[in-house]
Amino acid sequence: MTASKLSEVAQEELFEHYRFNAAKGQEPLRVDKFLMNFIENATRNKIQQAAKQGHIWVNGIQVKQNYRVKAGDEVKVLFEHPPYEQLLTPEDIPLDIVFEDDTVLVVNKPPGLVVHPGHGNYSGTLVNALLYHFSNLPNNSSGRPGLVHRIDKDTSGLLVIAKTEPAMTALAQQFFEKSTEREYVALVWGNVKDDEGVISGHIGRNPKNRLQMMVFPNGESGKEAVTHYKVLERLGYVSLVSCKLETGRTHQIRVHLKHIGHTLFNDERYGGDKILKGTTFTKYKQFVENCFKVLPRQGLHARTLGFRHPGTKEFMRFEAELPRDIAECTEKWRNYTKHSL
């Protein structure tokens, strides 16, 4: 197969994000510098990374970042995933609406529902559902309609959605000022030592595993994060814990609790899908496996959400009861603790 044919095949597997044609008077210019002149908010580092990954093409051929663009060249940036704007299609996905008026919407997100389209999740998200049920939702700073904050795919619970531009601005300001109330319920491995406490530690990307976040206790990397926790119930080898957030970092509760030795129950990404506490008895292992089947995701639920209404200025608080999977798994542990410990 010829090089040009290989290029055609490769392009068929990619999605075009940008295309530019160099003008007739274009002086030779490195392609990374050329693209910085055309792509809004692009950094040279990101463009160079795209080139290293083989995503920059000139006249149908992959090029490195030091390729010099000449007059008449056609420059494309291609990725494995569709451009974000192509993913914003309305989809008839039901919503569990807890509260709604002309300016805000509070929804109870089920586990397994991704909040917004992105790499690996190009459809079937909460944003796709919102676009189907509502029109003219304002975009946040990332171009995501209605979203003020987010929770992980396998975390269930409450989210507030802005229906107007003023509501988006007011709610975003509250999250920035940390004046919202957010409480989560977590089922974690181990008997938490203290009845309550505060976990502080910067959170950033794990350099050894880019899919994970980690705590940098000395603040040498990452962003400041603070979680307040309180034990709700001790169930032998697991505990039910309430967590209140001061900050909203990616995977904050999952990472902070793992940091103090209490990984979320069945949190696959952080090792909670293994038996971390308990006995070596076969009967116990079978019991835990059954619990994993009942709760096939991390045991985390956004139970309480409070904020000041953008219009009335009244402080509103909403609560979503534990979903069935967490409730059933917790009840299994109650029964096990009662009869086996």
Tens of pLDDT, residues 82-130: 666 666 889 999 999 999 999 999 999 999 999 988 766 778 999 999 9
> Which residue did the predictor score with more confidence, 9 or 266?
266
Q: How far apart (Å, rounded) are the C-alpha atoms in residues 333 and 234?
A: 10
Tell me, what DSSP letter sits at residue 202? E
Of 20-24, 160-164, 234-238, the poorest mean pLDDT is in 20-24
Q: Phi-psi bin for 165: left (phi > 0), alpha (psi -120 to 50), beta?
A: alpha
Question: What's residue 82's pLDDT?
Answer: 67
Residue 154: closest CA among 116, 120, 111, 214: 111
3-state secondary structure of 145: strand
Tell me whether strands 181-189 and 56-58 are parallel, antiparallel or unpaired.
Answer: unpaired
Instruction: Please write the tens of the pLDDT for every residue from 142-201.
Output: 788 999 999 999 999 999 999 999 999 999 999 999 999 999 999 999 999 999 999 999
Question: What's residue 13's pLDDT?
Answer: 58
Q: Is residue 214 over pLDDT 70?
A: yes
Average pLDDT across the chain, whole number: 90
Mean pLDDT, residues 267-283? 96
Per-residue pLDDT band for 2 (boundaries 50, 70, 90) equals: very low
Provide, for the chain, the percentages of residues in helix, strand and coil under a 3-state DSSP scheme, each rounded to the nearest 5.
25, 30, 45
Q: How far apart (Å, rounded) are the C-alpha atoms in residues 320 and 298?
A: 17
Mean pLDDT, residues 256-265? 98
Q: Is residue 7 over pLDDT 50?
A: no
* Percent of the chain with pLDDT strictly greater than 70: 91
The token pair at 216 is 């940098």
Number of H helices, E strands in the chain: 9, 17
Q: How far apart (Å, rounded) are the C-alpha atoms in residues 234 and 68?
A: 65
Q: Is residue 22 over pLDDT 60?
A: yes
Instruction: Please write the tens of the pLDDT for every residue from 197-209.
Output: 999 999 998 888 8
Domains of the chain (ranges; CATH) run 3-80 (3.10.290.10), 85-177 (3.30.2350.10), 178-341 (3.30.2350.10)
Active site residue 152: yes
For residue 138, the surrounding DSSP H or E stretch is none
Tell me, what DSSP letter sits at residue 270? G
Mean pLDDT, residues 264-268? 98
Q: Out of 32, 152, 154, 325, which one is annotated catalytic?
A: 152
